[in-house]
Amino acid sequence: MNLNRSAGANVGISSAQYNEGLRAYMLRIYNYMACALALTGAVAFFASSSPAFMQAIYGTPLKLLVMLAPIGIVMYLSFRINSLSVKSAQTWFWIYAGAMGPSLSFIFLVYTGASIARCFFITASVFGSMSLYGYTTKKDLTGMGSFMIMGLFGIILASIVNLFMQSSGLDFAISALGVIIFTGLTAYDTQKLKELYYVTGGSQDAIGKASIMGALTLYLDFINLMIMMIRLYADRK
């Protein structure tokens, strides 16, 4: 009897330790993501406040560098994450968040500050709700995630086509579908990140790298969801 009680106590302790580790892992992801969003927003705001800086970016070939640099950093992180140290991965993550600022600075020039703030809080509410759903649901979201990823490729293709068509109707459709797609991806990615914790084996190095890549994934979901919200609901200056 005592042995059974002891075994049950050990299982309870292991389960409690596991749940605590999972909570710490997810909290680290959200903290990284929130700090990255704050860094991007600050850089974008201050960049847009400097006419000389904006002219130097968007009035010269530097525009291409500003637009393509974040993509290059994401690809580098994705392909090299296993060979990088946790500290190096963190450094590249912060560089990426900062580099996103200038590429998004035009938002403050095109749309009013009040409507941008409104869209941010709407995005935060939707993101928070869907991320919580992805974390708590017992339903497997793999099927929905695959469908959303297919939809993502669809709106990317449609966006490229619309660069030539300049159709306001297609632009509205892309933005509306984008809201749906990135809302769904938020729940799917959160569940996937939660499941990823199971395969880290408790390795602090693996957990550290998974936290950074998880923060990057949710950061991209949030940023893209907010951009779609702004295109739909923000007021132009």
Reply yes or no on whether the pLDDT at 112 is more than 90.
yes
**Average pLDDT, stretch 19-41?**
94
Query: Cα–Cα distance between 188 and 12 in angstroms, integer?
Result: 29
- For 77-93, write each residue's pLDDT tens digit: 999 999 999 999 999 99
Whole-model pTM: value is 0.89
Q: CB count, 10 Å around CB of 146?
A: 11
The dihedral of CA 212, 214, 220, 223: what is its sign?
A: negative
pLDDT at residue 14, as a whole number: 53
Please give the DSSP secondary-structure letter assigned to residue 198.
G
Q: What percent of the chain has pLDDT over 90?
A: 76
Domain spans in the chain, listed from the N-terminal domain onward? 2-233
Query: Cα–Cα distance between 3 and 220 in angstroms, integer?
Result: 50
Reply yes or no on whether the pLDDT at 16 is more than 70.
no
Alpha-carbon distances, residue 145 vs 131, 133, 149 (angstroms): 13, 14, 6
Torsion of CA 58, 118, 34, 46, to 10 degrees: 30
* Closest alpha carbon to 222 in 177, 174, 190: 190
**Average pLDDT, stretch 196-209?**
88
Going by pLDDT thresholds of 50, 70 and 90, the confidence category of residue 15 is low
Q: Which two tokens mark 66?
A: 């500003």
Cβ atoms of 119 and 233 within 8 Å: the answer is yes
pLDDT at residue 18, as a whole number: 61
Query: Cα–Cα distance between 43 and 32 in angstroms, integer?
Result: 17
Question: Degrees (nearest 5) of the Cα angle 210, 211, 215?
Answer: 115
- For 145-202, write each residue's pLDDT tens digit: 999 999 999 999 999 999 898 898 999 999 999 999 999 999 999 999 999 998 887 7
Alpha-carbon distances, residue 78 vs 28, 92, 94 (angstroms): 19, 11, 14
The dihedral of CA 161, 166, 170, 176: what is its sign?
A: positive
Tokens 């005592």: give the residue: 2
Reply yes or no on whether the pLDDT at 7 is more than 60.
no
Cβ atoms of 29 and 218 within 8 Å: the answer is yes
**Average pLDDT, stretch 117-129?**
97
The dihedral of CA 53, 36, 115, 167: what is its sign?
A: positive
